Amino acid sequence: LLSVRFGRTRRDGEPPLINGWIPFLGKAMEFGKNAHGFLAAHKEKHGDVFTVLIAGKYMTFIMNPLLYPYVIKHQKQLDFHEFSDQVAPLTFGYPPVRSGKFPGMAEHIQRSFRLLQGDNLNNLTESMMGNLMFVFRQDYLTGESEWRTESVYQLCNSIMFEATFLTLFGKPAHTSRHSGMVTLREDFVKFDTMFPLLIARIPISLLGGTKAIRDKLINYFHPQRMSPWSNTSGFIKERAALFEQYDSMGDVDKAAHHFAILWASVGNTVPATFWAMYYLVTHPEALAVVREEIHGVLQVSGIETDHNRDIAFTREQLDSLLYLESSINESLRLSSASMNIRVAQEDFSLRLEGERSIGVRKGDIVSLYPQSMHMDPGIYKNPEIYKFDRYIENGKEKTDFYKDGQKLKYYRMSFGSGSTKCPGRHFAVNEIKQFLSLLLLYFDVEVLEGQEPCTLDPSRAGLGILLPASDVQIRYRLR
């Protein structure tokens, strides 16, 4: 039997090392097929910290969520930008931001994220409300009140994509809708299918027509095209003005940055909206409670609902929708599979709890895989079951979750952690709330019988919200 092991050997003080049998690729194939199962099996065998060679990188996984704080709190040897700084430009097609060519730009970009949060969220939320209402009215709040059929992904994608686009980038000069939105969405899906390969740094030239599709998508945001758009968010306006300050930045580079934001803003939000809607419509008892809650908020404000009238929720009203929020967070728990990555800047000893520490080498990746926490029966009883009120206790948001009798600082991490936490997370949850509120107020929705339950498509494991492996048909009619 010819069995030669490749890869490095473990040093004293380092975690157990799993090299795999194929040089370079290491365990990449197995990982790609079923990351969650792969990590669970290794945890069973090697304990809560181990290093695996995946696609040429040594990745140390910290599997015990009680240890997460030791990685998330700023460790000067662990850099959180290095990975995304290399991968994002290759994926979206703009020149590296920190190359020295654009002094100060990286810091300005970071600062622009404040425009998605805090008080700035009020304007965004208000604008999103108007745009959602508009798209619903144009495409769905029409005709008689007979039953119509539709698939859930299709519905979420067409409404959320366009309404988010209008909210962030604004509307064209003389009309309310951008022409070519359907084509843009279809091209986006084609690009998105290749997204995992681009993130894995497969050169785009090897991916068939992907380069041409990406060029087309980027071109949509050419500064000359964008300049007549109005109602553009402060966030995009500030970024566009920033890019103008750099002569070394070409128009196509600017456009590619805007395209990256389009991806960030809908790439995860659309599948997250799908799962939130899917679980509600397949759990009528949850749907009834959530719908009742939404009606209650409007009644308190003395607002009548009929489908000739536009509805707008204030941010306070959205914040008070606890059951809706819990149901969204529960669907995020069940569908998110993002990986948190930090790169070691030198050989060092990563301190964990008590006296424990592990050796990490320069260039190694230290990684958290929150899906394993989300599906841990020691934290969440019957983790595979959708329990819409899991995050509510005594009429308030439940925030205490335990592992081995100890309270967890981190128990839900769909939006990343620490310095790489998603700046759009509040906007995202608000827009999903707005979408579902309008849907449930205006329509009766039922799943058509005889369909298999939706399962997760693992191909995006590590990168965010997983897509469903198949779509599901519903029927809906005006209430």
Stretch that binds ligand HEM, among 57-65, 144-152, 382-390, 422-430 (CB under 6 A): 422-430
Nearer to ligand HEM, 157 or 338 (CB): 338
Buried b (16+ CB within 10 A) or exposed e, 288-306: ebbbebbeebbeeeeeeee
Q: Does residue 112 belong to the site contacting ligand HEM (CB under 6 A)?
A: no
Stretch that binds ligand HEM, among 40-48, 217-225, 313-321, 411-419 (CB under 6 A): 411-419
Handedness of CA 119, 122, 127, 131 (dihedral sign): positive
Site for ligand HEM in 270-289 (CB under 6 A): 272
Six-digit token string for 407: 């309270």
**Residue closest to ligand HEM when measured from CB atoms:** 424
Beta-bridge partners for 78: 344
Q: Does residue 127 belong to the site contacting ligand HEM (CB under 6 A)?
A: no
Least distance (Å) between residue 266 CB and ligand HEM: 7
One of 265, 327, 329, 372 touching ligand HEM (CB under 6 A) = 265
Nearer to ligand HEM, 107 or 353 (CB): 107
Least distance (Å) between residue 116 CB and ligand HEM: 6
Q: Does residue 427 belong to the site contacting ligand HEM (CB under 6 A)?
A: yes
The three-class DSSP label of residue 207 is: coil
One of 269, 327, 329, 430 touching ligand HEM (CB under 6 A) = 269
Six-digit token string for 132: 């959602």
- Rounded to 5, what percent of the chain is helix, strand, coil? 50, 15, 40
Binding mask 435-464 for ligand HEM (x = CB under 6 A): -----------------------------x
Please name which of 137, 271, 263 lies closest in space to residue 194, comparing C-alpha atoms: 263
Nearer to ligand HEM, 18 or 129 (CB): 129
Stretch that binds ligand HEM, among 139-147, 222-230, 248-256, 419-427 (CB under 6 A): 419-427
Six-digit token string for 326: 């819990």
Site for ligand HEM in 370-389 (CB under 6 A): none
Cβ neighbours of residue 187 closer than 8 Å, sequence gap 6 or more: 213, 216, 217
CA separation, residue 118 to residues 90, 241, 322, 431, 432 (Å): 31, 22, 19, 15, 18
One of 294, 465, 472, 474 touching ligand HEM (CB under 6 A) = 465
Nearer to ligand HEM, 328 or 408 (CB): 328
Nearer to ligand HEM, 124 or 358 (CB): 124
The three-class DSSP label of residue 51 is: strand
One of 40, 48, 57, 84 touching ligand HEM (CB under 6 A) = 84
Please name which of 105, 64, 67 lies closest in space to residue 85, comparing C-alpha atoms: 105
Six-digit token string for 239: 């970024």
Residue with tokens 């990286």: 106
> Torsion angle of alpha carbons 321, 323, 328, 333, nearest 10°?
140
Cβ neighbours of residue 87 closer than 8 Å, sequence gap 6 or more: 199, 201
Which long-range contacts does 173-182 make (Cβ < 8 Å, 24+ apart)?
Answer: 173/228, 173/229, 173/230, 176/134, 177/138, 180/220
Q: Does residue 415 belong to the site contacting ligand HEM (CB under 6 A)?
A: yes
Nearer to ligand HEM, 7 or 424 (CB): 424
Q: Does residue 264 belong to the site contacting ligand HEM (CB under 6 A)?
A: yes
Q: How far apart are CA 97 and CA 376, in angstroms?
A: 38
Nearer to ligand HEM, 391 or 476 (CB): 391
**What does the DSSP 8-state code read for residue 16?**
P
The three-class DSSP label of residue 444 is: strand
Site for ligand HEM in 136-175 (CB under 6 A): none
Number of neighbours of residue 208 by Cβ within 10 angstroms: 11
Q: Does residue 75 belong to the site contacting ligand HEM (CB under 6 A)?
A: no
Q: Does residue 240 belong to the site contacting ligand HEM (CB under 6 A)?
A: no
Separation of first and last alpha carbons in the chain: 69
One of 63, 236, 240, 428 touching ligand HEM (CB under 6 A) = 428
- Tell me the number of residues near ligand HEM by CB under 6 A: 22
The three-class DSSP label of residue 50 is: strand
Binding mask 171-210 for ligand HEM (x = CB under 6 A): ----------------------------------------
One of 116, 129, 166, 276 touching ligand HEM (CB under 6 A) = 116
One of 7, 20, 65, 416 touching ligand HEM (CB under 6 A) = 416
- Measure CA 82 to chain center: 20
Cβ neighbours of residue 327 closer than 8 Å, sequence gap 6 or more: 276, 279, 280, 286, 290, 388, 389
Nearer to ligand HEM, 130 or 359 (CB): 130
Residue with tokens 């897509």: 467
Binding mask 316-345 for ligand HEM (x = CB under 6 A): --------------------x-x-x-----
Applying CB under 6 A, the residues found at the interface with ligand HEM are 84, 116, 261, 264-265, 268-269, 272, 336, 338, 340, 414-416, 420, 422-424, 427-428, 464-465
